[in-house]
Amino acid sequence: MDYRQYLDINPEVEEAVKSGQPVVALESTIISHGMPYPQNVETALTVEKIIRDNGAVPATIAVIKGRMKAGLTEDEIEYLGRTGSGVAKASRRDLAALLCKGTDGATTVTTTMMIAHMAGISIFATGGIGGVHRGAQTTMDISADLEELAHTPVMVVCAGAKAILDLGLTLEYLETRGVPVIGYHTDELPAFYTRKSGLPVDYRMDSPEELARLLKIQQAMPHAGGVLVTNPIPEQYSMDPAVINAAIEEALRQAEAEHIHGKESTPYLLAKVKELTGGDSLESNIRLVYNNAGLAARVAVAYSELK
């Protein structure tokens, strides 16, 4: 069965892909589950503008009324933002059921990678990836993002794994699954809200052109998987590690007390950290997404020139 019967590609995006022009995929979970309205919509539209300003075409991805969408309209972004958590959070296991039922889904890193690849898009910008949750030794709470990175040939530009996770175990898992972790202008894994985690990346690269060459070579490999590019949050928006780590620890304690687990964990913890930091974490989150979008667009331009 051909997946294309379930996929709608925005005409601008489709033309850009066909003609070899630069395109950057964007997820929609950050719109519906990552930020409050109206900041979520404002952020999504600003991210698209940043990508255009850097010479690429944005393709925000979602499931709407049972259709996989690669490239949303402003009205569709507004709809996801207003509906918020009323839109299902769609990972790999959810995709077929959402299409079958004709309902909506906000795509995670996993499903954004999947749909981007179906649409012929090789580069994707997000905030932070999911990973191995703290305490996963007993809960087995490990994000499907890591498995998707292992076998879907898309480059994901992020600010590292979300700081609420066990970053050391996340790196170990990525190593086991053969995913290269690249630091952009850094030898150290960024920790989402902060620039450093104390953990080394696999390789450092210092230009969009170098990242584009890496992606081209990676995709030429047999059974190629993805590439994870970690881009530190700009210095002026980086949070005090003591402040953010204290907020994360308190958020984790409250999540445990309220028996929050599974796919509800990440949105709960991010919202709680925002509350505990007086909104500072949300501002940092927005700024790191902007930073990642700009880098992803520049890599997409360099990649299109190689092609």
Tens digits of pLDDT across the chain (307 residues): 588 899 999 999 999 999 999 999 999 999 998 888 999 999 999 999 999 999 999 999 999 999 999 999 999 999 999 999 999 999 999 999 999 999 999 999 999 999 999 999 999 999 999 999 887 777 788 999 999 999 999 999 999 998 888 999 999 999 999 999 999 999 999 999 899 999 999 999 999 999 999 999 999 999 889 999 999 999 999 998 888 888 888 888 888 888 877 667 777 877 888 888 887 888 999 999 999 999 999 999 999 999 7
State phi, psi for 24 to the nearest 5 degrees.
-125, 125
User: In the structure encoding, which two tokens stand for residue 175, read together?
Assistant: 């190593």
CATH superfamily of the 3-306 domain: Indigoidine synthase domain (3.40.1790.10)
Could you list the active site residues?
Answer: 27, 162
User: In the structure encoding, which two tokens stand for residue 76, read together?
Assistant: 């569709």
Q: Find the DSSP H helices in the chain.
A: 11-18, 29-32, 39-53, 74-83, 92-101, 109-118, 136-139, 144-151, 167-176, 208-220, 241-257, 265-276, 280-306
